[in-house]
A and B are shown apart, each in its own frame.
Chain A
């Protein structure tokens, strides 16, 4: 099993096994941290921001290194990044809109 970086046929250089293993180690550590945060009650007040940061870090690591966005150029990042941005905006907007609805809805009947 070679640890050298692999050169793709299109000339794009992808990382080798060593990098992949390091990323996997990071993913494991981050997941352990997430689960720990979940079970440690004193951390409950900061649960949401901490989990969001840890989740985003895992997401970014997989996208950048395993999906090779870090190496494959801006075009693929744009093809993925723009819909991802819209998706995040949709989630945030719907949550805010329904939060307003929940607090201001007229009682039925």
Chain B
């Protein structure tokens, strides 16, 4: 039954209204955070585009020296790094994801708004750090993949790689926080009635992407930490002469890198799955299969990283395994392509720019997928590795697939975000120029690659026969640049225009179209009740869609039932300056580390710590059960902070798995010096008992808090922290005794992988002790108690995880010391 028409109020204040610059600097509103992500990404996109144009100018003719070789290296490195980390992911996740997740699931914000703001500011700091090399020490120049051992200090003595390492570590932290936030939001904050199988496909894509982020990024983080240790503390994680293998970097990087392709592609798939049904006025074809395909793609994406490394000689078994999994991934991807085609088949198509880009994506991405299948075959891949064929392939996937999808999404949701329409005429000019420029630039690269032109080559000789196609590609790149120029003109023109967009300009199907454009700060006056897929469509027209469309076409479409003003005041989270200040502290620390000025590091660390404390004290309800009863039916009654902590713990599993793998691999490759025989089993057995018993005390503390027993709550919390300190003291004793016996951090592969693994675990214990100390202080002041048992439970989860990690370390590192590594 169609909803009863209600008048749309004319003057709902939008999220864009009110406040000056300070209100933007302190905002934690997901929509404003999204806009800041979008603005910064569009600026970085211009920078990355200029770098691409410079690359094409350099390759215009043989033996060209328009750029120096060093500048050329820096430009292709920064082009790749910028486009992946500062443009595509921020546009998909930071901009569209941030803006749309709460709107599409019927929520008022994300699960952790301040964390969301922190993610943005960290991302911006990372982008700035990555570019600061232009001012001091040189831009990064070792490729966006940063292959070891080119990145070692010996081969890259400048500061460029330092900026790259620190920038990506900060960027990765930001992305993991975003993934954790999105996953928690989608699990816990869906509107009543929105089951998993009723979620918009864009939300499915972001949920799966969030899982990918949480599991993929820790491998990159570990790879970067090893590189940081090599460059700053003289370890040898990637130095072959010390027995190490640079191949380790490739494994860690591509363990992240191939899921990263899907971290970029899946949200693009989600966008296409929203644009096509709306513009075809048909439901998405094969919704369940589309959702399952996405999950399958994500699962398989962890088993295909080796296809980037066929040329390293992994052996026939590994090559075959990676080839099979890589080919398998074509199946769920093909399911999606056919489902999209079936969605538009027979539909009443509205040919807007958004649909143009969506249809363009189907064609261009399919071409990229076809060349991808070629790479899955190891013998063929060996011919194509490091050639321009690979450049053609990944641009068809990432530009033809992802950037086309981003453009479709931007044209589709721009009215919702800004309240203004983008120009359709300019948009279609942009589309056709993009298609022509893109294919002219990248299709000939297939041929150049097969003819032997290596990627990343600075220049080429005239007699290679590559000149004409390179010139054609450069012309194509300029056409593409004109297309992007039209896009920037279009968005500036749109922002300057005074023609408002309606709340539902495309006759949309999902909930974001049920509210005003741009939305009010609180999103929904009342949280919607979801009665099926295409929630807004059903609210508008009922389940009899065709009659509803007829009503729409005759101009009798019902009014917006959700757009009325709230009947009661809506409490929105207060703004906070701390995410910005904390990010500045992190950036200052990174800056100090790179320019080797320790006072700067200390200042950054102080700012960071004070910000964390400030964030703790500005949230007076910490630990209360804060579950929003309006969302309870879709979240299973689990507090969102608990989901958040578990998501973080899940991510940490991969973090420690990467460290543990490295230790086991390197302990038998160690050259000279002490090895596993120095490990002190009696001492660590005692430490193990201590840590296990601390876990017992922790659960007893939780039980005491849950039953309101304040005395035992304090005793058990204090005991847990004390046992943690005893464990740390044992670790300090162990480390110092190793140093006295001549085993330092840089002694050999065994020592460095041991100290980094056990040291990181010790750091986790130290953080746990600090957390427990804060809880103990709260308990002593009478601020814990039964109503805040959740805060003890969250600390307990973290503490037990640290315990189970130690169980693994004690077994694999200490008790198996006599077992040779890989």
Chain A interface residues (CB < 8 Å from chain B):
1-2, 6-12, 14, 16-17, 20-21, 23-24, 27-28, 31, 34-35, 37-38, 44, 47-48, 51-52, 54-55, 58-59, 62-63, 65-67, 72-73, 75-76, 79-80, 82-84, 86-91, 94-102, 104, 108
B residues 684-703 in Cβ contact with A at 8 Å: 685, 688-689, 692-693, 695-696, 698-700, 702-703
Q: Measured between C-beta atoms, what is the minimum distance from A71 to chain B in Å?
A: 12
How far is B797's CA from A63's CA once the two chains are assembled, in angstroms?
9
Q: Measured between C-beta atoms, what is the minimum distance from B131 to chain A in Å?
A: 33
In terms of DSSP, what is the predominant structure of the interface of chain B? Answer: helix
Q: A48 to chain B: which residues have CB within 8 Å? A: 816, 819
The answer to whether B703 and A72 touch across the interface, beta carbons within 8 angstroms, is no
Q: Measured between C-beta atoms, what is the minimum distance from B652 to chain A in Å?
A: 8
The answer to whether A95 and B665 touch across the interface, beta carbons within 8 angstroms, is yes
A31 to chain B: closest residue by CB: B688
Q: A90 to chain B: which residues have CB within 8 Å? A: 219, 255, 302, 654, 657-658, 661
Q: A67 to chain B: which residues have CB within 8 Å? A: 796-797, 800-801, 804
B residues 240-255 in Cβ contact with A at 8 Å: 240, 245, 247-248, 251, 255
Q: B669 to chain A: which residues have CB within 8 Å? A: 102
Partner pick for B815 among A51, A66, A79, A97, CB 8 A cutoff: A51
Q: Judge whether B187 is part of the interface by a CB distance below 8 angstroms.
A: yes
The answer to whether B638 and A94 touch across the interface, beta carbons within 8 angstroms, is no
Q: B646 to chain A: which residues have CB within 8 Å? A: 76, 79-80
How far is B813's CA from A55's CA once the two chains are assembled, in angstroms?
12
Q: A73 to chain B: which residues have CB within 8 Å? A: 636, 638
Instruction: Indicate whether A83 sits within 8 Å of B692 (C-beta atoms), given known contacts A14-B703, A72-B638.
Output: no
B219 to chain A: closest residue by CB: A90
Q: Judge whether B389 is part of the interface by a CB distance below 8 angstroms.
A: no
The answer to whether A96 and B822 touch across the interface, beta carbons within 8 angstroms, is yes
How far is B490's CA from A53's CA once the two chains are assembled, in angstroms?
63
Q: A20 to chain B: which residues have CB within 8 Å? A: 696, 699-700, 703
The answer to whether A27 and B692 touch across the interface, beta carbons within 8 angstroms, is yes
Partner pick for A83 among B306, B654, B665, B810, CB 8 A cutoff: B654
Q: B712 to chain A: which residues have CB within 8 Å? A: 1
Instruction: Indicate whether A83 sits within 8 Å of B215 (C-beta atoms), given known contacts A24-B696, A31-B685, A51-B811.
Output: yes
The answer to whether B692 and A24 touch across the interface, beta carbons within 8 angstroms, is yes
Q: A87 to chain B: which residues have CB within 8 Å? A: 653-654, 656-657
How far is B255's CA from A60's CA once the two chains are assembled, in angstroms?
26
Q: A96 to chain B: which residues have CB within 8 Å? A: 318, 822
The answer to whether B654 and A86 touch across the interface, beta carbons within 8 angstroms, is yes
**Which of A1, A28, A98 is most buried by chain B, counting CB atoms within 10 A of its CB?**
A98
Q: Judge whether B637 is part of the interface by a CB distance below 8 angstroms.
A: yes
A92 to chain B: closest residue by CB: B661
Q: Measured between C-beta atoms, what is the minimum distance from B288 to chain A in Å?
A: 19
Instruction: Indicate whether A79 sits within 8 Å of B703 (C-beta atoms), given known contacts A9-B789, A21-B696.
Output: no
Q: B637 to chain A: which residues have CB within 8 Å? A: 10-12
The answer to whether B625 and A6 touch across the interface, beta carbons within 8 angstroms, is no
Q: A47 to chain B: which residues have CB within 8 Å? A: 815-816, 818-819
Q: B214 to chain A: which residues have CB within 8 Å? A: 83
Q: Measured between C-beta atoms, what is the minimum distance from A108 to chain B in Å?
A: 7
- Sample of 19 further A-B pairs with CB below 8 A, known A55-B811, A58-B804, A86-B654: A1-B700, A2-B703, A20-B703, A31-B689, A38-B681, A47-B818, A48-B816, A51-B815, A62-B807, A66-B699, A66-B803, A72-B638, A73-B638, A80-B650, A89-B303, A90-B661, A94-B665, A96-B318, A101-B245
> Please, could you name 27 A-B residue pairs with CB atoms under 8 Å apart, sorted by A?
A2-B709, A11-B637, A12-B637, A20-B696, A21-B696, A23-B696, A31-B689, A35-B815, A55-B807, A58-B692, A58-B804, A58-B807, A63-B804, A66-B699, A67-B800, A75-B643, A79-B183, A79-B647, A83-B215, A83-B650, A88-B657, A90-B219, A95-B822, A98-B822, A100-B318, A101-B247, A108-B240
How far is B315's CA from A47's CA once the two chains are assembled, in angstroms?
29
How far is B651's CA from A80's CA once the two chains are assembled, in angstroms?
8
B669 to chain A: closest residue by CB: A102
The answer to whether A66 and B800 touch across the interface, beta carbons within 8 angstroms, is yes
Q: Measured between C-beta atoms, what is the minimum distance from A97 to chain B in Å?
A: 6
